[in-house]
Amino acid sequence: MQKNRILGIFLFIIVCIIFLLLRSKPLYYQTVAYTYDQGRDFLKASEIILNRKPTFLGPTTGIMGVFHGAWWYYVLVIPFIVFGGLPIGFYYFNLLIHFATFVALFFFIRKFFGPALAFITSFLIAISPYFISTSLFVGNNIMAIPCFLFFLICNFYLLEKKIEKKYATALFLTGLSLGLVMEFEFPFGLFLIPSYFILIFIFDQLKKTVLKLKNGLFFLLGLLIPFVPRILFEVRHDFLQTRTLLSFFFKPQLHNPKAYVNVFKDRVNLFIGYYKSIFTSDIVMLLFTLSILIAVFLIVRYKAKIYKSFLYFLLLLVGMLFLFSTLYKDNFWSNYYEGMPYGFVMIILSILSFEIKKQKKLSSYIPNALLGVLMIASIFPFNGILNKPRQEGLMVQTQVVSYLQNQLKGNNSYCVKIYTPPAIPYTYDYLFVYNSLSKKIAIPEKDWTNDQCWTIIEQDPYKFRREKWMEDNIPQSATPLLKHKVKDVDIILWRCVSSNRP
């Protein structure tokens, strides 16, 4: 017993180290994705604190005039304060949330499914391409992932555990997590909420619990709280988003409409993609799929004990989300169901947790074999981890701004004009804001100062757009005084006397 405990602690430390190491390189070198969306969101968080400008709306969705929830911006306020606005600090905070989720999930599985499955799930998530990438990407949709997982865990308690005295609390948390999923990723919630209401009437345990007055009120209260900022906005603006959304439902404006057969095929490929994204290689996926099929056979053959209600709940939930998604005949991006891989992870977990009463050793063969496979597979992602990465992401923009401001030599009055393909240079705008806080360097002007102006010009596959911007912003009589290049970004200091500028 003591040896098993020591081995368990050792394996837990190892899997935590693997989780963190596989995510540390992009953070250390700051090669994380830093695009229009991140710049916009970081700026909004800074405005909430620096300008005391609260907001009731979040980022834009794929539906013009409908927005994600404002909670995302208030989440970003936390790392902004803790790290003093440091851009990479937002990414550290995001990793911390996912690591805390990872640890909490381990102990949840260990308690109800056993240590073997806890380690299988942990190793799987630690080396999973999907879970690695989402740990390093900062965006409103990423926050839907832990919320969706929490929603699933709440329903495990409601369906499988007798918690009569705590039903109200569990339902409040279920509603809260459901509402937060929608506020962080609006399309997901748009399909998840009706799916869950249908499931309430399918599962007697949920129906009996939710339809009790006290429990139902707690559930609705939890569901309502995340929507408070949205409701306040709607009341103040004559229900603008509600009217836009209703118009979208009844008179949809589709960008790429497709026949239902093609939509169905697209969604099948999408859900297969969710499943495949969990695994580090096709071989590991094949072994897991084969193990699941064997486990299903053994469950049917020996009438093995499993968490039947929870498994059926998961299968029906994923099935309904699939069917609802086919009703939308336009492009359906994978992030619309951000967190869906957790649904598949929980299905795998529920199937592999089977227990055959008279042949307990047989029940342990598959989990033990898979754990061995994952421990071996966890070695391969470390290939090339010590190699220095390419210049990309936040690293490039940071170097651009640092170079430009190092040339100022104490001159706090300067002009910078920026061209980026998204047109609005939120990425650079936030870096200038951060340097004004941390280094007391003034935020640049957009008009020529002392007959000079810097330009930051990024590459664009559509060269005519870049050329048009140059024509509109740089007079033909302007003379370049200094040129520098950071990766594919041109930094130029121009001089042009005011009499020659339009």
CB 102 within 8 A of CB 19: yes
Only one residue has tokens 């609260």, namely: 54
Give the pLDDT mean for 337-343. Answer: 97
Q: Tell me: pLDDT of 145 over 70.
A: yes
Number of other CB atoms surrounding residue 258 within 10 Å: 16
Detail the DSSP E strand segments found in 349-478. Answer: 416-419, 452-457
CB 502 within 8 A of CB 476: no
CA-CA distance, 175 to 204, in Å (whole number)?
Answer: 18
**Threshold 0.85, pTM exceeds:** yes
Q: Tell me: pLDDT of 32 over 60.
A: yes
Tell me phi and psi for residue 96, to 5 degrees.
-60, -40
Q: What's the pLDDT score for residue 330? A: 85
| 3-class secondary structure, 322 | helix
Q: What's the pLDDT score for residue 502? A: 52
Q: Which residue has the higher pLDDT, 367 or 38?
A: 38
Confidence of residue 370 (pLDDT cuts 50, 70, 90): confident
- The DSSP secondary-structure symbol of 162 reads -
Q: Give the CA count within 13 Å in the CB-facing half-sphere of 270.
A: 22
Only one residue has tokens 């988003």, namely: 241
CB 31 within 8 A of CB 390: yes
Q: What's the pLDDT score for residue 499? A: 58
Q: What's the pLDDT score for residue 426? A: 94
pLDDT digits (tens, 9 = 90+) for 46-76: 999 999 989 998 888 877 778 888 999 999 9
CA-CA distance, 90 to 45, in Å (whole number)?
Answer: 11
Give the pLDDT mean for 431-451. Answer: 93
Of 27-36, 188-197, 347-356, least confident by mean pLDDT is 347-356
Closest C-alpha to 203, from 114, 298, 320: 320
Q: Tell me: pLDDT of 422 over 70.
A: yes
Q: What's the pLDDT score for residue 367? A: 76
Q: Tell me: pLDDT of 299 over 70.
A: yes
| DSSP one-letter string for 462-498 | SHHHHHHHHHHHS-TT-EEEEEEEETTEEEEEEE--G
Give the pLDDT mean for 326-334. Answer: 89
- The DSSP secondary-structure symbol of 279 reads S
Q: Tell me: pLDDT of 328 over 60.
A: yes
CB 189 within 8 A of CB 181: yes
Give the pLDDT mean for 155-162. Answer: 91
pLDDT digits (tens, 9 = 90+) for 232-276: 999 988 888 888 888 877 777 777 888 899 999 999 999 999 999
Confidence of residue 373 (pLDDT cuts 50, 70, 90): confident
- The DSSP secondary-structure symbol of 254 reads -
3 state SS for 420-464: CCCCCCHHHHHHHHHHHHHCCCCCCECCCECCEEEEEECCCCCHH
Tokens of 277: 């994204």
Confidence of residue 387 (pLDDT cuts 50, 70, 90): confident
